[in-house]
Amino acid sequence: MAEAGTLHDAFIDELRDTYDAEKQLTKALPKLAKASSNAKLRQAFESHLEETQGQVERLEQVFESLGEKVRGKHCDGIAGIIEEGKSIMEEDFDDTTMDACLIAAGQRAEHYEMAAYGTLVAWAQAMGHTEAAKLLQQTLDEEKAADKKLSELAEGGINQSAADGAHSEDEEPEAAAAGGTRKSSSKSGRR
Ligand code: ZN
Ligand code: FE
Ligand code: FE
């Protein structure tokens, strides 16, 4: 019978999962960039793509620092988040609404990564893997900065310009706010 796994084994598993997640994101980020109408948003996705490529390499250094061979293991979590992002991109939204939705999709991914790296840093520190902890912390900081950048773009105009076109002209905003007499004017039938 095999011996019970340790936190070190779980750590290596999580690293493989995260390595795969980053690789999936290097394929998804160009699609988010391409679907963006706002130039600053497109730029944010493009620069995070470059950062993400660096994060893949940084994880390779982490495996090396632990004497482990570089290997990924399919990450179902990020695959689901990316799948949801793809569905959003297939919707027929106006440009700023689509931008707001792309930010929402991007932030779901960033938060997932922040959770993963937060755990990885804590476990590496607890087990005394100092070099790994340092490298993982660098990526955690980049994920937090990417998330913050997306919040700034959303709150710095994109949400408001999407909101400005959210209700049909003959409709009182109060009625919508009250959840009352909304006409089914939205193309997708959503509210
Ligand atoms: Zn260990
Ligand atoms: Fe990442
Ligand atoms: Fe990220």
pLDDT tens per residue, range 68-102: 999 999 999 999 999 999 999 999 999 999 999 99
pLDDT reported for residue 184: 44
Q: What is the CA(15)–ligand 2 centre distance, in A?
A: 12
Give residue 58's region: left, alpha or beta (phi > 0; psi -120 to 50): alpha
For residue 34, with 0-12 CB atoms within 10 Å meaning exposed, 13-18 middle and 19 or more buried, which class applies?
A: exposed
Measure 181 CA to ligand 2 centroid, in angstroms: 43
For the chain, the average pLDDT equals 92
**Ligand 1 mean position, distance from CA 129 (Å):** 6
The answer to whether residues 63 and 69 touch, using CB atoms and an 8 Å cutoff, is yes
User: In this structure, which ligand is nearest to the CA of 146?
Assistant: 3
Dist. CA 126 → ligand 1 center (Å) = 9
Residue 96, number of CB atoms within 10 A of its CB? 20
CA distance 185 to 106: 28
Distance 1 CA to ligand 3 centre (A): 39
Query: Mind listing the domains of the chain with CATH numbers?
Result: 7-163 (1.20.1260.10)
Please write the tens of the pLDDT for every residue from 161-184: 999 999 977 666 665 555 544 444
